[in-house]
Every structure is written in structure tokens, then in C-alpha cells.
Amino acid sequence: IVLSSIYDGLKYIYAPWPISGDPMSIGMAGVQKHFKELSDRYGYQIDPPESMVNQLGYQYLFQNKLDDAIDIFKWNVQHYPSSWNVYDSLGEAYAKAGDTTLAIKNYEKAIGLNPQDINGVRALKKLKAR
């Protein structure tokens, strides 16, 4: 009974944690609002997870909403600067937007953080060959 009570209590306390529905439906502003409300509720800073933000950025990228995708990936870079993946994603968005210089810069940063970033290595070679 004690164990199930703890489980039920935690479920109750953290019930508002998940975003209801698809983050794409509320956009980055909605995601940020949701996590600000969580931060206010629980009394400490809670940022959206890197993977959630990255996924949202790619949804915009695949819809050719390049400015929105770039802004989202930039947010991820600011909040997760030690992640090679955020630079790789931003590089991909800049490449798709035609900004070769910034694409190269971000791919180089991604590869610097993770030399095993095969996608980044291939993309960088392709961009530098232009």
C-alpha cells in the first residue's frame, strides 16, 4: 500500500508535466509557456528537453518554414551548448536555407564536439565542395 501510495502521489503532483497533444500544435511559444508554468509551479527552472525542441524544429524544417526552424534550433543551441546534435541540426537548417557559411560553422562545431557525427562530416564535405 505504501509503494502504490507514493506512486499515486507522484502521479498526482506531476500530472501537469506532459504537454497535451502535439508540440507542433502550440509551437515553440506554447512549449516555452508550458515549461515556464511548470517552473513556476515547482519552484525551479525547467527547460523543454533538447529532443522535444529538436523534433519541433525538424517539423518546421520539413514544412519549409525555415526561419521558424532556425529560430528553434538557435534556442536549442543557447540552452544545450554542449550538445553536438543541436549544432548539427542548426547546420542542416542553414544549409537548407542556403546560408553555406553558417551551415559550415555549425557543422564544424558539431564535429568538434562529436567527431563521430557522420551526418555532419558528410554534409560538411558536401558544402565545402561547392
8-57 pLDDT per residue, tens: 898 888 888 888 778 888 999 999 999 999 999 999 999 999 999 999 99
Model confidence band, residue 64 (pLDDT cutoffs 50, 70, 90): very high
72-120 pLDDT per residue, tens: 999 999 999 999 999 999 999 999 999 999 999 999 999 999 999 999 9
What three-state secondary structure class fits 48? coil
- Residue type, position 121, single letter: V
Q: What is the pLDDT of residue 21?
A: 77
20 CB burial (10 A radius; 0-12, 13-18, 19+): exposed
Q: What is the pLDDT of residue 54?
A: 97
Alpha helices in 14-117 (DSSP H): 23-42, 50-62, 66-79, 84-97, 100-113
Residue 93: Cβ within 10 Å count: 26
Q: What is the pLDDT of residue 20?
A: 78
Contact 53, 89 (CB under 8 A): no
Contact 68, 62 (CB under 8 A): no
Model confidence band, residue 1 (pLDDT cutoffs 50, 70, 90): confident
Q: What is the pLDDT of residue 112?
A: 97
Euclidean distance between CA atoms 123 and 11, whole angstroms: 44
Angstrom CA distances, 99 to 65, 71, 120, 122, stand at 15, 14, 16, 17
Q: What is the pLDDT of residue 129?
A: 92
Which positions ≥6 away from 64 have C-beta within 8 Å? none
